Amino acid sequence: MTAPRFPVGAPVRIRRAWPPGHVRAPWYLRGHRGEVCAVVGDFGNPEELAYGRRDGAKLTLYRVRFRQTEIWPDYAGPTADTLETEIYENWLEPAA
Amino acid sequence: MSIDKTGHLRRHHDMGGLPAGAVDRHEHDHAPWEKRVDAIMRLLSDPKRRILKVDELRRGIEELGPGVYDALGYYERWIASIANILIEKGVIEIDELGRRMAAIEARHEAARAKGKGA
């Protein structure tokens, strides 16, 4: 694996995009800011694999941590609560 | 699919964060047919056959549409998706599958009728 575009600790944002088809970025996270907490590895792009196209370039998968209060405006739990999920690089952009 | 307040199409399965009822946390056994569906998926996706990938299975489930998605159980969604994708890929033919399903249904009905008569 080459050096990842987003190293551990990098602030990232899930892209605000709404394409049709098999999409691997949950709706509720789009537009939200998190932080890379692990670089999982390089894998076939599931959004292409879902349509039987298996020869595409590999994509880096990241584990991203979000503050619950960032995702849910009415979150009533402790402010330190976080949510971690795995997101492919094509859905991430740098965040300030 | 539904259209959210920003005018974007949200696919039915992508329901994280939407209001929902209580989660049933009871353990349950799988019926023999459910285990068979799992086995079929494993065989189709094993390194020797590589007929179906799990990403395709998921895509097929998402494309069942809201009504069917909610009406079917977990492994019913799997077998519906598997059947659709095998038809798409030309592994099975619709006519072949339809005739086989009808034959099995007739066999089951005959067995049921016999059971009642006994």
* pLDDT exceeds 60 at position A73: yes
* pLDDT exceeds 70 at position A93: yes
A77, with CB counted inside 10 A (0-12, 13-18, 19+), is exposed
CA distance B4 to chain A (A): 11
Q: Where are the domains of chain B?
A: 32-92
Do the chains contact at A21 and B59, CB–CB below 8 Å? yes
SS3 B33: helix
* pLDDT exceeds 80 at position A5: yes
**pLDDT of res. B80:** 97
**pLDDT of res. B68:** 94
CATH of A11-94, one of 3.40.120.10, 2.30.30.50, 3.40.50.10800, 3.40.50.720: 2.30.30.50
What are φ and ψ of residue B64, in 5° steps?
Answer: -65, -25
DSSP class of B7: S
Q: How many other C-beta atoms are found inside a 10 Å radius of the C-beta of residue A40?
A: 14
Q: How many other C-beta atoms are found inside a 10 Å radius of the C-beta of residue B106?
A: 10
Nearest to B59 among A22, A27, A54 (CB): A22
Q: Where are the domains of chain A?
A: 11-94
Do the chains contact at A50 and B56, CB–CB below 8 Å? yes
Closest chain A residue by Cα to residue B6: A18
**pLDDT of res. B103:** 98
**pLDDT of res. B1:** 64
Query: Span B49-70, mean pLDDT?
Result: 94
Beginning with the edge strand found earlier in the chain, give each strand of the sheet holding A92-94 in spatial order: A82-88, A58-67, A33-44, A11-14, A92-94
**pLDDT of res. B24:** 87
The answer to whether the predicted template modeling score (pTM) of the entire model surpasses 0.95 is: no
Q: Does A49 touch chain B (CB under 8 A)?
A: yes
CATH architecture of B32-92: Orthogonal Bundle (1.10)
Residues in A closer than 8 angstroms to B7, CB to CB, are none
Residues in B closer than 8 angstroms to A21, CB to CB, are 59
